[in-house]
């Protein structure tokens, strides 16, 4: 947010002046400048010549009033549940991350829409279910190609880390939590290749050139740090 037309001071000057002004009702002071995605006011602060720090407005206000930072973090105790844009130092108390999260939950400031309730999603529960069903007969790399999702996204859907509220079909192959061998989307070798590598008398570098992988990969296969599931 650009500077409001009626404010001619720097952001630091504005913060310092407004927290010093009389506030008989102890009302919230709402930051009129830029805010982060969580709604906290932001500004650049120069604690000493040549040093610039980006800080949250409420933390700097607390520091200017009390001479110390709210540690490990600051909790908003504004009447009505706390407004993250408020920088009234009287509305800030030191607290822990657990306390801060409990405040957010108690005051209904945690919104984490799931699945199709998220306005930014481009898939549906039906697609998720079908992808999981397909995983019973398809490799991860084939799922990536079919659905056009990233390998990481496919993996998170199959493991339940994404779309965990959608029931998991019993056919879903849970080994996709940690894909190995040919299930891995970037695999260049087959199980027969691995067996031949382990019985070959060629050097690591020669086998690497032959199969299009690094000598380090060959060494890992022979030492059974890689492809451990292949006897």
* Cα 109 to the center of its chain, rounded Å: 18
CB contact at 8 A, 183 and 137: no
In the chain, the percentage of residues whose pLDDT exceeds 90 is: 26
Mean pLDDT of 9-30: 93
Per-residue confidence (pLDDT) for residue 122, from 0 to 100: 73
DSSP single-letter state for residue 25? T
d(CA 16, CA 3) in angstroms, rounded, equals 16
d(CA 198, CA 206) in angstroms, rounded, equals 13
pLDDT at 183 over 60: no
pLDDT at 176 over 70: no
Per-residue confidence (pLDDT) for residue 180, from 0 to 100: 53
Prior bond of 72 cis (ω within 30°): yes
pTM of the model: 0.46
Ramachandran angles phi, psi of 93, nearest 5°: -135, 150
pLDDT at 63 over 90: yes
Find the distance separating the first CA and the last CA of the chain, reported in whole Å: 61
Where are the chain's structural domains? Answer: 11-106, 121-183, 191-222
pLDDT at 89 over 80: yes
């Amino acid at each position: 947010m650009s500077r409001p037309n009626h404010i001619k001071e720097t952001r630091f000057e504005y913060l310092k002046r407004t927290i010093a002004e009389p506030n008989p009702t102890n009302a919230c002071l709402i930051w009129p400048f830029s805010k982060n995605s969580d709604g906290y006011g932001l500004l650049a602060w120069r604690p000493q010549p040549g040093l610039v720090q980006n800080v949250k407005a409420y933390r700097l206000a607390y520091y200017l009033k009390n001479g110390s930072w709210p540690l490990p973090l600051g909790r908003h105790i504004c009447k009505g549940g706390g407004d993250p844009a408020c920088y009234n130092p009287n509305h800030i108390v030191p607290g822990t991350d657990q306390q801060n999260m409990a405040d957010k939950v108690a005051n209904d400031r945690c919104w984490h829409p799931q699945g199709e309730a998220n306005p930014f999603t481009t898939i549906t529960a039906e697609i998720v279910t079908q992808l999981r069903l397909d995983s019973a007969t398809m490799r991860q790399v084939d799922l990536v190609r079919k659905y056009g999702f990233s390998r990481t996204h496919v993996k998170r859907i199959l493991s339940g880390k994404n779309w965990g509220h959608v029931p998991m079909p019993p056919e879903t192959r849970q080994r996709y939590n940690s894909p190995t061998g040919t299930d891995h989307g970037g695999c260049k070798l087959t199980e027969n290749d691995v067996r031949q590598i382990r019985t070959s008398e060629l050097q690591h570098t020669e086998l690497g050139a032959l199969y299009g992988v690094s000598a380090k990969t060959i060494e890992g296969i022979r030492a059974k740090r890689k492809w451990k599931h292949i006897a």
